[in-house]
Structure 1
């Protein structure tokens, strides 16, 4: 019995069968939901490896360097000479070191 209306409910209430009827409906609903097939995930593509790049792909290339070898040599020479450091406030490279913060 799946179709019932207000008159059926009133009759079941009068006879005292409403509680049993509702419990049967709940049991039937629970058994129906348990019979649904489980949803399977889609299959993995051929050659799939966990944690690896997909077949036929590779990581992107590194961006090209914007600096030439001459730029790097100039920067390391400036660093070694102390240009632009806290010890050279005017960035000339010939200032004496300051004694701030020393004894």
Structure 2
């Protein structure tokens, strides 16, 4: 961009009935819009030395699966004990022929 001062603008107003000044101002606007609309993309950071995409870093491995603290049979036994406790404490109507509509009574009815 060139430097201009008040004398240059006054000269542009006098020449061609001010058409030069209008053209100059439009060019300035276009240049500014063009600079604003161009995306500024930052360069990606460099990869570390020895980088292999998708691989674990050397000297490491993926984590091992966590061992289960309780086997599945123990979970099933605990669930059955819990259901039995629910039926004895909360449902006095289980001895009747018409159980309530809760999940525990429905499971007891099916078994």
TM range (shorter): 0.3 to 0.5
Q: Calculate the TM-score normalised by the size of structure 1.
A: 0.46
Q: Which has the higher helix share?
A: 2
Q: Calculate the TM-score normalised by the size of structure 2.
A: 0.44
